[in-house]
Every structure is written in structure tokens, then in C-alpha cells.
């Protein structure tokens, strides 16, 4: 049922974003409720809500995909924080970035390192 | 020392490719010894030879990067086999692909599923 | 309800693939039922099943996205045929490809033209 | 003749950018007259000046290509405004973005939604 | 005048493809005369016909762009042959590929090496 | 030996960045010494330190790869300055960008032109 996918998405978002959870959900839904609903139901409910991999393992996949596709600062920041909320350390993230340097090239890895540095300085 | 990075690369390739190890190394080095040397020393020695993550975790990163960048059949095949050689199951790989569907789009996930099917049928 | 998204996905796939509909669905679900279910429910049900744009307009979006991301032969073939099943002409598709030449570069446009030619010759 | 392609490009730019037309042309040509000339003659004259599709349909193609290739804020902003100048509504653009979520992944769709929100707030 | 851009494109294609020139042009124009005309006039006339860089230097740019965007076998083959027709050696091309390994990742470089090997074996 | 690759990387970075050399190296190494070491040893030592192509020719390859992959402002800025430090003129860079317009699409070329303009205004 739609309700469950949405509910599951909200719960997963809660684990990924911690204290900022309510703000993040409100933000996603504010501008386009339809897009927000789809992202919560499918992205965070149906996909992130799967239980085969832990949230920590899922963040390894997410970070790798973001770095490889050259995602921008906001996307990287959101998921660097989420990754640390579910148990990845700074060292883990640097290792992911180093692996991506070989697989997706140094320019994308360099951008990721710079954004990670910004995130660490904010903490 | 160069020798160690090369040696480490050969050993890592051995773990990833199992029985086909010698053939793979010979193949990499046959056409362009310089490119082959760089790939073994850097790609498989310096990067894959790191020990922070297990080879299994590193293959999760590699597969995600390959799927996200729309890598072709040969690249996907090589690493689907390598991933299974170091401990990922068919189910693990399908989960990675499903996560990538949300993060890199369904067309790239569909290609990955088709190539995985081919690999499974060859086994 | 899950059932409706799935049912809607099957119906949309039917319109896109015409006579080959049953074969396509069986093919999608054969190797990984979970991935197949997600693709039918979300990709073809939740997304393609939206009614704001016609299927013809949605295929314009799909083809543009596929050409821009450098999708391979099988993906392009499937959607060139689907596009023609829902009302796009050869001329329409060539125009999309020409627009993409300027926005995504000539190499990707050339690949699309070659695959379109193959599709037309099969008809 | 070169003259006509240039003239056609200027006219098309005029329809896409409305009141800001003169400023945009001046901006394109100021730094590198040669690049500016090529973009106006080929991009806006030869390609956008085609009449098979309406400007509204052409903007659907442009927006899809930009979102799929992960274009940055400035590119997205320019064409969100242009799209609205030639008749696409906010709802139309959100639908394009939702379709792209499935075809190019949620990170690129999320960026597009955020930039669209900024554009709507400026109006 | 249109005629000159077309004529210049044909001449440039002639230098890039040597003996196969007529066949290539016929092939480009056979399926979609409009797309073919655009590719010859703009791609090979207006862009490749520029004289600031030599054809050899222009092929360095083309090969780098193709490898970086993960272009397929046919595109790479065409331009590996063209590159050798205008003076790049196998060694030059391998060096371009090695540079791209660092900038665009090893998977794309590996594909390029494999296709180059096929081209060399055909000669 | 590791030492030599590092030393070679520092020297190459020195040629690319001129007066800012020390600052750049310190910056690369400050946040993650391991990533910084890898980038200097492999990226600037092993790859950029090759002597087959001149640094000027290598920058043509780097710029093309960055533009084609849609690299962001910081990456483009760094290498536009480096390119000029090793002998490429503004005209050379504009020609590279124009060639990339045809091969990677106008949106990426437009971004590059805008960033180049910013770099020129800073000088």
C-alpha cells in the first residue's frame, strides 16, 4: 500500500538525517509535493528501505554513484553527512573516494575530497 | 618500490580472477606493456591492494562505479565474475543494481541486469 | 496498492510494445523477479503511467535521455520501436537526434542514427 | 548563407529569452565573438530554428538533455526560463523532471527541482 | 554559403578517412540526408575545417573527448583510423589513453586500449 | 621508487602552477595526506610526468577531458591557469572549447567559456 512505502521512506530518511529529519522532509515536499512523494516513497522507501544491505553498505553504493556521476556539492554534502550518521567514518569515505579516483578519474575524486573537507570543518 | 606495486597488483588480480589470472595478466600486458604495467601497478596494486576495505567491499564500489558510468559488457562481465570470486552473491549484485536504478537511472540498471544474466548462464 | 502500480505498468508496457508485450514482460521478470517487479511497478507504472503527458510526449523525453546518456543499442532499439508504437514518426525521431547533436554532441547522435537505421531496416 | 543562419539564431533567441534577448546576445558574443557566432548560428539558428517541432517541444528535448547530463545551475536556469517563455508550465517541467528521475536517476532530478524552485521564487 | 561549409566538410572528411572517403560520405548521407548534411557541414566543415589547430591536434581533442564520454567501438574505431591517417602514431594514441586513465578512469581507458588493439590487428 | 614518483609529481605541479605551487601542494595534502600523496605520485608524477607529450600537449588532453565530463568551475579554473602557464593561449583554449561543442555538446562548451572568461578577468 502507498501508505507503507511513504512511512518506510520517512523512517529511513530519519535514520539517514538524524536531527534534521523533519526539516529535510518538509524541504523535499515543499516545492513539488508530487516529486517529493515519489522521492520519499520510491527512493527512500522502496529502495533505501530494502534490508538486504545495511544502511551503511547502502551509503557506500550511494556515495560511489554520486562521485562517479560528478554530483554537485549539495548532493555530496547530504550523503557525506548521511553516511556518517549510519556509521561510515571519515577514513571509510576517503577510501571510497580513492577507489573512485581509479574508476571515475581524479577530477571527480578531487571534487569529492574538497566537499568532504567542507563537511568535516562544519562538524 | 615499483616492483612491489607490480607484485601486489598481480596478487590482487589473482584473487579477483582466480583460475584465469595468468591469462588476464598476459592479455593486459600483450598489446601495450606500458598501459598494462600502469593498470597493474596503480589500478590493482596501489588502489585494489589497499587493505582498509575487503576485496568484497571494494567490488561493491567498483560495480557501482561501472554501472553508474554506463560501462559496457566486457567491463561489467569481468567485474561481475571478480565480485563473485571474492564473495558477492548473485543476490548481492542484484541489490547493487536495484540501488543504482534509483541513483543512476533504469536504463543503466537494465543493462547491468542483462549482462549479469549472461554471466550466470555461462557458469 | 502494489497491485495497481503493477497492473498499470503492465498496461503501459502493452501500449509501448504492442504484440511483443507478453514476451517483454516475461523477459523482464525471468532473471530477477524483484528487479523486474520494480521496473514494471515504478518505471512503467508509477512514472510512464502518469497522464500529464501523452505516451508520445513521454517517449520524446525517454529518447532524449537515452541518447544524452549514451545508452547502448538494445536500450535505443527498444524505445525507438516503442516511440513508433505510440505515434512518433521516423522524421520525429531524426529531429530529436539532431537536437541532441547540439546538446549532447555528435558522437552520441551518430550512434542513435545508426541504431535507428537498423530498426527501420528490420520493419 | 551565413547571414541567414545568424539572423535566424537571433530571432529564435529572442523568442526564448523575451525581454532579456539583447542582453543575452551581447553576453554570448562579448568574450569570444567566434564561439558566440557559432552558438548563435548553429545552436540557435540551424538547430533551434528548425520548424518540425515547436519551440515548446524543442524545450522539452533541451531540458531533458540538460537534466540527464547533470548540467549546472546556470544552464538549467536559462532553459527553465526559456521553456516558460515558449509555453511550458511549472507542472510540465516538474513532469519532465519526474520522468528523468527514472531515466537518469534521482540525484540529477533533485538538482533540477531545486533550481526550478529558485527560478519560480525569482519570478 | 551553405555550399562552402559542405564542400569544406567533404574535403576534411577526405583527409581523415583517406581511401574510404567516398564510402563514408555515402554512408553518412544514406539514411538521413538531413542529419548527414548537418554532420558534414557543421561537424566536419565548420568545426574540423578550422585551421587554428592541425588535423593531428584536432584528433587529439576528438580522441580524448570520445574516450572520456565512453564512446562505443564504432566511434573509437573511426577516429583511431582517422588519427593515424593524419599523423598520430600508435604510441601517441596509447599516451592519450594513459592520460585519460587518470582523468576519466581506467574502465574507459581499458575499452579504448582494446579497440585500438583491434584496429592495429586489422591493418 | 616511491620517492621519485612523488618528487616528479611535485616538479610537474611546480611547472603547471608556477608561483602558487607551494600553496597548491600544501592544499592537496592538508585534508587527506593519503589522497594527496596518491594524486601527486600518480596523477602528477606517473601520468603528467611522462615525457612523450609536452606539458602543453598534455594540457590539451586534460582540458578536453574536463570539458567533456562536465567538470565544475574549480577544476576548469585550475587547468585553464595551468594550461596558460605551460604555453596555451586564450585562442588555443577557445579552439579546444569550440571543438568540444561539437563533440560533447554546447552546454558543456558554454560553461567552459564562462569559466575561461572569469579566469581572464582575474589576470
Q: 3-state secondary structure string, D103-116?
A: HHCHHHHHHHHHHH
Q: With 70 as the cut, is the pLDDT of residue E48 above it?
A: yes
pLDDT score of E59: 98
Partner-chain contact E32 C113, CB within 8 Å: yes
Q: Which of E67, E72, E106, E107 to mutate to test the interface with B (most CBs of B within 10 A)?
A: E107
| Rounded mean pLDDT, F85-114 | 98
Q: With 60 as the cut, is the pLDDT of residue E2 above it?
A: no
C-alpha dihedral sign at F50, B38, B63, E62:
positive
Partner-chain contact B105 D105, CB within 8 Å: yes
Interface list for chain F against chain A, based on CB atoms closer than 8 Å: 31-32, 34-35, 38-39, 43, 65-66, 69-72, 74-75
Interface list for chain F against chain D, based on CB atoms closer than 8 Å: 70, 72, 94, 97-98, 101, 105-111, 113-114, 116-117, 120
- Spell out the alpha helix ranges (H) of chain D: 2-17, 21-31, 33-38, 55-68, 73-85, 90-104, 106-122
For residue A3, name the pLDDT band (cuts at 50, 70, 90).
low
Q: What is the ipTM of this complex?
A: 0.95
Q: Between chain A and chain C, how many beta carbons pairs sit less than 8 Å apart? A: 8
Chains in contact with E via at least 3 Cβ–Cβ pairs below 8 Å? A, B, C, D, F
For residue E94, name the pLDDT band (cuts at 50, 70, 90).
very high
> Chain E partners of A102 at a C-beta cutoff of 8 Å?
105-106
Q: How far apart are CA A98 and CA B48, in angstroms?
A: 10
Chains in contact with F via at least 3 Cβ–Cβ pairs below 8 Å? A, B, C, D, E
pLDDT score of D48: 96
Give yes or no for a contact between F109 and F97, defined as CB atoms under 8 angstroms apart.
yes
The residue of chain E nearest to residue C114, with distances taken between CA atoms, is E31
pLDDT score of E69: 98
Please give the DSSP secondary-structure letter assigned to residue A99: H
Q: With 90 as the cut, is the pLDDT of residue D81 above it?
A: yes
Distance from chain centroid for Cα B46:
15
Q: How far apart are CA B109 and CA B100, in angstroms?
A: 6
Q: Which residues contact F105 (CB under 8 A, 6 or more apart)?
A: C102, C103, C104, C105, D65, D69
Among residues F42, A58, E101, which one has the least CA distance to residue B46? F42
pLDDT score of B1: 46
Interface list for chain B against chain D, based on CB atoms closer than 8 Å: 102-107
Q: How far apart are CA C19 and CA A25, in angstroms?
A: 43
Partner-chain contact B103 D102, CB within 8 Å: no
Q: With 60 as the cut, is the pLDDT of residue A14 above it?
A: yes
Among residues F40, D119, D58, which one has the least CA distance to residue A32? D119
> Chain A partners of D116 at a C-beta cutoff of 8 Å?
31
Residue environment code for C33-63, b if the CB has 16+ CB neighbours within 10 A, otherwise e: eebbbbbbbbbbbbbbbbeebebebbbbbbb
> Chain D partners of A45 at a C-beta cutoff of 8 Å?
none
pLDDT score of F3: 59
Q: With 80 as the cut, is the pLDDT of residue B17 above it?
A: yes
Partner-chain contact E111 B72, CB within 8 Å: yes
Partner-chain contact C94 E39, CB within 8 Å: no
Q: How far apart are CA D6 and CA F102, in angstroms?
A: 18
Q: With 70 as the cut, is the pLDDT of residue C98 above it?
A: yes
- Spell out the alpha helix ranges (H) of E32-105: 33-38, 55-68, 73-85, 90-104
Q: How far apart are CA C2 and CA B105, in angstroms?
A: 21
Q: With 60 as the cut, is the pLDDT of residue A1 above it?
A: no
Chains in contact with C via at least 3 Cβ–Cβ pairs below 8 Å? A, B, D, E, F
Q: How far apart are CA E67 and CA E75, in angstroms?
A: 10
Residue A76 class from Cβ within 10 Å (0-12 exposed, 13-18 middle, 19+ buried)?
Answer: buried
Partner-chain contact D66 F110, CB within 8 Å: no
Among residues F74, F119, F73, which one has the least CA distance to residue F93? F119
Partner-chain contact C104 F103, CB within 8 Å: no
Give yes or no for a contact between B45 and B8, defined as CB atoms under 8 angstroms apart.
yes
pLDDT score of C1: 46
Q: What is the mean pLDDT of chain D?
A: 94
Give yes or no for a contact between B9 and B43, defined as CB atoms under 8 angstroms apart.
yes
Q: Between chain A and chain E, how many beta carbons pairs sit less than 8 Å apart? A: 14
Model pLDDT for residues D34-63, shown as the tens digit of each residue? 999 999 999 999 999 999 999 999 999 999
Provide the Cα torsion B50, B53, B54, B57; round to 10°: -120
Q: With 80 as the cut, is the pLDDT of residue E20 above it?
A: yes
Please give the DSSP secondary-structure letter assigned to residue B98: H
For residue F1, name the pLDDT band (cuts at 50, 70, 90).
very low
Distance from CA of A106 to the nearest CA of E (A): 6
Distance from CA of D109 to the nearest CA of B (A): 10
Model pLDDT for residues C32-87, shown as the tens digit of each residue? 999 999 999 999 999 999 999 999 999 999 999 999 999 999 999 999 999 999 99
Identify which has the larger pLDDT, F63 or D2.
Answer: F63
Q: How far apart are CA F79 and CA D34, in angstroms?
A: 22
Q: How far apart are CA F78 and CA F103, in angstroms?
A: 22
Question: Among partner residues E52, E60, E104, which is closest to F60 by beta-carbon distance?
Answer: E60
Range list of β-strands (E), B16-87? none
Q: What angle do CA B73, B77, B81 make, to 5 degrees?
A: 175
Identify which has the larger pLDDT, E120 or A24.
Answer: E120
Question: Among partner residues F32, F34, F71, which is closest to A107 by beta-carbon distance?
Answer: F71
The residue of chain B nearest to residue F37, with distances taken between CA atoms, is B46
Whether this model's pTM surpasses 0.95: yes
Among residues E4, E19, E17, E22, which one has the least CA distance to residue E80? E17
> What percent of chain C is modeled with pLDDT above 70?
98
> Chain C partners of A46 at a C-beta cutoff of 8 Å?
38, 42
What are the angstrom distances between the C-alpha of A120 and each of A60, A91, A113, F32? 18, 12, 10, 12
> Chain D partners of C55 at a C-beta cutoff of 8 Å?
none
Q: How far apart are CA B47 and CA B49, in angstroms?
A: 5
pLDDT score of D1: 45
pLDDT score of B123: 75
C-alpha cell belonging to residue D55: 519551440
Q: With 70 as the cut, is the pLDDT of residue F31 above it?
A: yes
pLDDT score of C3: 59
Q: How far apart are CA B62 and CA B82, in angstroms?
A: 10
Amino acid at each position: 500500500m502507498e501508505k507503507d512505502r511513504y512511512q518506510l521512506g520517512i523512517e529511513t530518511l530519519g535514520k539517514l538525517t538524524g536531527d534534521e529529519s523533519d526539516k529535510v522532509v518538509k524541504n523535499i515536499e515543499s516545492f513539488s509535493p508530487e516529486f517529493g512523494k515519489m522521492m520519499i516513497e520510491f527512493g527512500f522507501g522502496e529502495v533505501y528501505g530494502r534490508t538486504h544491505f545495511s544502511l551503511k553498505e547502502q551509503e557506500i553504493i550511494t556515495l560511489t554513484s554520486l562521485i562517479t556521476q560528478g554530483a554537485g556539492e549539495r548532493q555530496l554534502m547530504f550523503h557525506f553527512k548521511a553516511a556518517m550518521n549510519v556509521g561510515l567514518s571519515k577514513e571509510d569515505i576517503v577510501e571510497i573516494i580513492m577507489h573512485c579516483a581509479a574508476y571515475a578519474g581524479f577530477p571527480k575524486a578531487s571534487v569529492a575530497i574538497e566537499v568532504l573537507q567542507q563537511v568535516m570543518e562544519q562538524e
